[in-house]
Structure 1
């Protein structure tokens, strides 16, 4: 079967510049509604991936996201949200983008075309068989990502891919391919739109589910979140109040003394046994 880049196919809409603002917004929204349904279809693959990530992370393994452009930025974004949300060290979920951190804000010429660079960057971080490498590429053809996956898999490391094209090269390199087929973009080839939205959804699903299974959530609460601003201190205080049936001021003192909702609740219960 010939490989067809759906991500590069002409938009289903035309004469965009002649449409009203309302028409443009409604049509973008209509396309966006396809994304969640496309993600729904790949839940079995996401489940397979998370089920293999969790035991690896329990043994000290890490997740590495690899991508270029929008895909790389979304990997870095998801990785950067894990420490404040779940109180995990920033070394456990790592986003690597072709061209390095400067590429987060500025395009870096030819960075994504270097097929060896990604594996070099993983080796610099002492990648091992407990780790997981997830390549993200809307087109499924990015050399930086392909090379990293190929080398990681050859070295016995769990690999997965997220792409928006069926039967893409990236899927052939990954042990667990996730192909989220969202169709042509509203603006032809602009994969920051539906493809990017779907990637964000899948990355959220992978890390949130993994963190829950690693015990970083209690009930439905982020009991290990970092207390990095007043809003989060207030949220954490109310969690402690609810859990221990204490007044606000006492709950806040406990929270600030022990640094997280979980630690505050555990310490209070330990100190007030019997």
Structure 2
């Protein structure tokens, strides 16, 4: 049975649980576990871990599916990563990163408590509504075995929901003629995501390339000296609305009450993780 949800429900649910996935890209356990299986320190672990579900794919596939990373940055790490560690080894290391970091940030009492088990059950029910057509990263992760422990089951289900939504977001950006770099620029100027220095550093874009994208967006009437123009705001709102619609099936299936409960549980766990220092302080701009 599916139900209609109030506008913004899918986006709020996504934000509430996404932190619990995203923190694994910033915690020190990542470098420790990925280097232990043979990868080089730094960004190689991120590119290998997130793409390993697809197998030993080439750099072009990672660039295409991740969308907003500079191709040269990806090519510095992929496919070399697959000569140092197998995808299966990397996936095993990734689960250890999740397990160790969640235990450190949230504590064993929380992870073995009833709320994590409840959240895992709700997230699994939501993820059961997902379909693989046109969703490459989601489809790859959906083929992975589900872990046994409740907190790892929760993380796995969140990952399925996240990658499914991300695949749909790319489709929405393509339909709006917004490149990966354009998406980064228009996102950072809102002050609600990556800071500009962090976006450049983590995505591999130079000051010159960033500046060229800014100029192109100004020529299109999407950006001016004050930030996004009304046209730019409308375009981003359209992209986000399309993304929400393409990602709405799991939340309609879960229903308003189930979605509200998972949002509540996810928000509580995310706040605990952030308060425990899950992210570096200079990566994200403060919310306005």
How does the TM-score come out when normalised to structure 2? 0.30
Higher relative contact order (CA 8 A, sep 6+): 2
How does the TM-score come out when normalised to structure 1? 0.31
Decide which structure has greater strand share. Answer: 1
Decide which structure has greater helix share. Answer: 2
Which of 1 and 2 has greater Rg?
1
